[in-house]
Amino acid sequence: MINVTVNNLPVEIEAGSTVLDAIKLAGFNVPTLCHHPKLKPYGSCRLCLVEVEGARTLQPSCVVPAADGMKIHTDTEKTRAARRFVLSMLFSERNHFCMYCQSTDGDCDLQQCAYNEGLNHWPITPAYKPFYVDTSHPDFILDSNRCILCRRCVRTCSELVGNHTLGMEERGSATILIADDNVRLGESSCISCGNCVQICPTGALYDRRSAYQGRDTDLTHTSSVCMDCSVGCYRVVKTRDNRLVRIDGNYDANFVEGMLCEKGRYTPFTNTQERIRQPLIRRNGDLIPVSWGEALSTFSTQLKAHSGEEISAYINGRQPAETLSLFRNFFGNEFEAGQVALVGHDESAAIALELAKEFGAFESKLEVLNDADVAVILGADLVKDHQVAGFMLKRKLSEDLALIQITKEANTLGNNFSRKLIKVGDEYSKLLDLVTGTKPFECQEPEARYCLQALEALAAARQPVIVIGKEFAAKENMDQLRRTIEFARGINAKVVVLKGNTNSFAAAIYGLTLRPELKGSAVAFYALGDGKVCPQALEALKASGYKVVQSSYCNEATALADIVLPCKIWNEEEGHYLTTDGRLELNRVAIVADEQQRSVLEVLNNLSEKSGISLNADWQKELTDKISSIVLA
Amino acid sequence: MAKPKVASDWLAGCAGCHMSFLDMDERIIELTKLVDLRATPITDLKEPDEEGVDVGILEGGITNTYNEEVAIKMRERCKFLVALGDCAVFGGVPAMRNFPGADAALKRAYIETESTDESGKIPNDPELATSVHVRPVSDVVKVDFFLPGCAPSADAIFYVLSELAQGRIPEVNDLTNKWH
């Protein structure tokens, strides 16, 4: 600990803290623009200048380390004049006319700084130099005329996302934000995660869909967990007048610094499917609108008219844990249905459960990726799926993380890693021989040098992490999986199994089997919700007698159903999601659904009332009891 | 004591700031108890009194030589000058044309728009004022108080005028410093 004074107030602060940290600890504030708590200090905007006694010039508090005995002054004639000068220079450089910018009134840090300093006009005439506006990206716009060159976006893209798309070109006032080697954003290596847009302090990078839809303070903010995959990132769903406006990462959450990927931020906006608005029943070949009462009575009659063996029930993994549990109880326990299945192709969750039976709790939390010095990725494409887990590795490039990756298809994850062993294929047995060093290493130049470096890194690793994805986590690889876990134990490596989509971990714990031999039956119920139609489920449905589909959207499954039930979508229903590393998180209601929309859970409750079945509601305990035997705290 | 005299005029603006002034509604009656409202674009008298006024108010930025004349005349005839609104304070919307330059902007407006045919021409009557680089009022004359906003709220205008009427300089605060 060291001692400093801020505006004559003594504070004790940890060595290694910055002057800005000390100022904040002492309860004072200095304006900042380039600084952001999620990013490393940078010191480009010069707005946070303070007086340090004995220093020749004013010091940028965000980057200067606090030293013992330092006397800091934040509010002197000199600092005030410097701040006004810095702001005047910033406003003079480009187009910072607020009246035709979409980011004002609380959405712009630059404007707010001017307000805070009482700057009510621009002492320096603007340069009026026009810059190119890049509108090539489908999700956001880059207007360099609004850019203050703080590089928060560049630093987010490299430090947090690890994608290194954004950078700067030219010098001085001509400095300009570019993508790659100066190509248009829409044609660049950008992965559309949008984290740069969220962190931009001005209107230089802005979201297309939410532009001019209101200030952030006009929007209703709903904190939720992202359920577009099983990583479980924290997001804030922003709505206005019951309309979805924007999705942001939750900076209050420490998990992956509040990052989101394209799936979590933008995909919910690109859905163009037609919504189902009311229950429908097929009569004389056509689907006719009916009341919920009639639809449910007909469904219930069909269920009662058949023995359990003649009933099949399929559910999509995007459904909340509450629903999955009730679904299993209703169809599995009460009806003893012939098939009660989760549809999809991803066995990883069930495999993890299987391995935990043999090895005990063998998995670690996703955060271990942050501390890894060697990452072995077996059968997971972190560029396509579970992208934010991929960010956790990509951003460690500069820390010289060694990457060993085996995937069916090539991907760009390892592109910039200097110590890497990339193998494309699924001959895990051979590749494990290589990784575990049980077979002599054969490889051709120049690849060999990379591979050797990576394997050497693994041998000397301080904190190796083994990530197992869906390609590897399959029944036919059980022996190799066992071998991998044993190898991990031997070298003290952490293991992470990425468990499929959204809630498949919860579904696996509830014993909802995956990829069964889906067969036709007398009555089939497909609880699809807002998910995608599974081809296998569709085939089984076709082979069935009476078909009931609950779906949010019109699709191939609803087209052949005898009863179609509307369904709430992700932002209309509250429910729990079990992340791949065993965090049970809540997705909240952000949009109030039309009264004709019901969730699968509500339908199951309606049906059980009709059938006089009361269901065990202790869905949560079953999950929490099990998790500790799979994932280490 | 005689009520302080107030005069206003507009330059390259949209009249929105004066509309916002009218938005103070019945408080105008209160205000006229405090000040002697003289020449404004919305009253009969069109030029500030030759013998001078206490407070001059200018809406809009400087886009041509005529705006410069009006601004200089107002400055000469008032003791305290208020720049009213984002155009007067910063240059505002008309200043957008500084980015492509006045020539390109005129060409686009009079010749290249979708609604003009080949007969389109840029007005060049010698009686027309000459376009200049768009500037805030403070680039031409000294401004004593800046009231930004597009438009500044009626509350802000009422506050500033009632403070000035009572011989006080208005504060720069959340009400009076709100750009749009």
CB contact under 8 A, B90 and A121: yes
User: What is the percent of chain A with per-residue pLDDT over 90, rounded to a whole number?
Assistant: 78
Distances (CA, A) of A608 to A239, A273, A281, A563, A600: 34, 31, 20, 18, 12
Nearest to A328 by CA among A318, A317, A340: A340
Under the banding of pLDDT at 50, 70 and 90, the label for residue A359 is very high
Tokens of A240: 């206005």
Tokens of A330: 């209703």
Q: Which long-range contacts (CB under 8 A, 24 or more apart) does A356-363 make?
A: A356/A629, A356/A630, A358/A482, A359/A485, A359/A489, A360/A629, A361/A628, A361/A629, A361/A630, A361/A631, A361/A632, A362/A485, A362/A488, A362/A495, A362/A630, A362/A632, A363/A495, A363/A496, A363/A497, A363/A581, A363/A582, A363/A630, A363/A631, A363/A632
Is residue B94 helix, strand or coil?
helix
> Residue A516 has what pLDDT?
53
**Single-letter code of the amino acid located at B42:** I
Average pLDDT score over chain B: 94
**Chain B residues close to A128, C-beta within 8 Å:** 95, 98-99
Task: Tell whether the model's pLDDT for residue A588 goes beyond 60.
Answer: yes
> Residue A460 has what pLDDT?
87
Task: Tell whether the model's pLDDT for residue A574 goes beyond 80.
Answer: yes
Please check whether residue B20 is in contact with residue B152, taking contact to mean a CB–CB distance below 8 angstroms: yes
Nearest CA in chain A to B145: A120
Please check whether residue A247 is in contact with residue A193, taking contact to mean a CB–CB distance below 8 angstroms: no
Ranked by mean pLDDT, the top range of A56-60, A308-312, A335-339 is A56-60
Nearest to A303 by CA among A562, A615, A557: A562
Choose among B100, B135, B177: nearest Cβ to A130. B100
**Chain B 67-96, CB below 8 Å of chain A: which residues?**
83, 86, 89-93, 95-96
Q: Is A98 on the interface with B (CB under 8 A)?
A: yes
CB contact under 8 A, A121 and B136: yes
CB contact under 8 A, B99 and A114: no
Distances (CA, A) of A159 to A44, A163, A381: 16, 9, 21
Q: How many residues does chain A have?
A: 633
**Burial label, A324 (beta-carbon count in 10 A; 0-12, 13-18, 19+):** buried
> Residue B64 has what pLDDT?
94
Angle at A208 between CA A207 and CA A212, to 5 degrees: 90
Choose among B91, B150, B172: nearest Cβ to A120. B172
**Chain A residues close to B176, C-beta within 8 Å:** 120
Query: For A261-284, how does the pLDDT look when each residue is reduced to its tens digit (9 = 90+)?
Result: 999 999 999 999 999 999 999 999
Query: For B68-114, how does the pLDDT look when each residue is reduced to its tens digit (9 = 90+)?
Result: 999 999 999 999 999 999 999 999 999 999 999 989 999 999 999 99
Token pair 């320096």: residue: A124
What gap in Å lies between CA A285 and CA B59, rounded to an integer?
Answer: 70
Q: Which stretches of A304-382 are assigned E, i.e. beta strand?
A: 311-315, 339-342, 374-378
Task: Tell whether the model's pLDDT for residue A443 goes beyond 70.
Answer: no
Q: Is A125 on the interface with B (CB under 8 A)?
A: yes
**Chain B residues close to A126, C-beta within 8 Å:** 91, 95, 98
Q: What is the mean pLDDT of residues A145-168?
A: 96
CB contact under 8 A, B180 and A104: yes
User: What is the percent of chain A with per-residue pLDDT over 70, rounded to a whole number?
Assistant: 97
Nearest CA in chain B to A119: B177
Please check whether residue A547 is in contact with residue A526, taking contact to mean a CB–CB distance below 8 angstroms: yes
Q: What is the mean pLDDT of residues A166-191?
A: 96
Please check whether residue A237 is in contact with residue A245, taking contact to mean a CB–CB distance below 8 angstroms: no
Q: How far is B89 from chain A (nearest CA, A)?
A: 6
**Chain A residues close to B98, C-beta within 8 Å:** 126, 128
Under the banding of pLDDT at 50, 70 and 90, the label for residue A351 is very high
State the alpha helices, DSSP H only, in B85-173. 85-90, 102-107, 154-165
Q: Is B158 on the interface with A (CB under 8 A)?
A: no
CB contact under 8 A, B177 and A118: yes
Distances (CA, A) of A46 to A87, A125, B15, B118: 9, 20, 38, 52
Supply φ then ψ for residue A486, to 5 degrees.
Answer: -65, -40
Helix (H) or strand (E) run with residue A423 in it: strand A420-424
Under the banding of pLDDT at 50, 70 and 90, the label for residue A203 is very high
Query: For A493-521, how does the pLDDT look when each residue is reduced to its tens digit (9 = 90+)?
Result: 999 999 988 999 999 999 887 655 677 78
Q: What is the mean pLDDT of residues A321-347?
A: 89
Choose among A118, A122, A129: nearest Cβ to B90. A122
CB contact under 8 A, B86 and A100: no
- Which has the minimum average pLDDT: A12-21, A129-138, B121-130? B121-130
Please check whether residue A506 is in contact with residue A227, taking contact to mean a CB–CB distance below 8 angstroms: no
Label the pairing between strands A280-283 and A563-565: antiparallel
Choose among A99, A105, A130: nearest Cβ to B99. A130
Predicted TM-score (pTM) of the model is: 0.93
Choose among A98, A120, A128: nearest Cβ to B98. A128
**Chain A residues close to B138, C-beta within 8 Å:** 121
Q: Is A97 on the interface with B (CB under 8 A)?
A: yes
How many Cβ atoms from other residues are within 10 Å of residue A436's Cβ? 16
Q: Give which of A92, A97, A108, A145 to mutate to test B binding, by max B Cβ within 10 Å.
A: A97
CB contact under 8 A, B139 and A125: yes
Tokens of A21: 């940290």
> Residue A438 has what pLDDT?
66
> Residue A166 has what pLDDT?
98
Supply φ then ψ for residue A59, to 5 degrees.
Answer: -115, 135
**Chain B residues close to A105, C-beta within 8 Å:** 180
Between A112 and A414, the higher pLDDT residue:
A112
What gap in Å lies between CA A67 and CA A19, rounded to an integer?
Answer: 8
What gap in Å lies between CA A150 and CA A41, rounded to an integer?
Answer: 11
Task: Tell whether the model's pLDDT for residue A413 goes beyond 60.
Answer: yes
> Residue A435 has what pLDDT?
78
Under the banding of pLDDT at 50, 70 and 90, the label for residue B118 is confident
Q: Give which of A84, A117, A120 to mutate to test B binding, by max B Cβ within 10 Å.
A: A120
What gap in Å lies between CA B69 and CA B51, rounded to an integer?
Answer: 18
Under the banding of pLDDT at 50, 70 and 90, the label for residue A441 is low
Q: What is the mean pLDDT of residues B150-175?
A: 95
The A133-134 sheet, strands edge to edge = A133-134, A140-143, A205-207
Average pLDDT score over chain A: 92
Q: How far is A217 from chain B (nearest CA, A)?
A: 15
Angle at A464 between CA A458 and CA A467, to 5 degrees: 110
What gap in Å lies between CA B23 and CA B91, rounded to an integer?
Answer: 23
> Residue A445 has what pLDDT?
66
Q: What is the mean pLDDT of residues A520-543?
A: 92
Q: How far is B44 from chain A (nearest CA, A)?
A: 31
Please check whether residue A319 is in contact with residue A576, taking contact to mean a CB–CB distance below 8 angstroms: no
**Single-letter code of the amino acid located at A27:** G
What gap in Å lies between CA A387 and CA A379, rounded to an integer?
Answer: 14
Q: Which one-letter DSSP state was computed for residue B175?
A: T
Please check whether residue A7 is in contact with residue A72, taking contact to mean a CB–CB distance below 8 angstroms: yes
Q: Is A621 on the interface with B (CB under 8 A)?
A: no
DSSP letters, A372-421, are -SEEEEES--TTTSSHHHHHHHHTTGGGT-EEEEEESS--STTTT-SSEE
Torsion, CA A511, CA A512, CA A516, CA A521, rounded to 10? 120
Tokens of A11: 């504070």
CB contact under 8 A, A104 and B148: no
Choose among A95, A111, A126: nearest Cβ to B179. A111
Angle at A406 between CA A400 and CA A410, to 5 degrees: 90
CB contact under 8 A, B138 and A111: no
Distances (CA, A) of B176 to A112, A265, A402, B35, B172: 14, 37, 57, 20, 6
Query: For A473-497, how does the pLDDT look when each residue is reduced to its tens digit (9 = 90+)?
Result: 999 999 999 999 999 999 999 999 9
Label the pairing between strands A243-249 and A280-283: unpaired
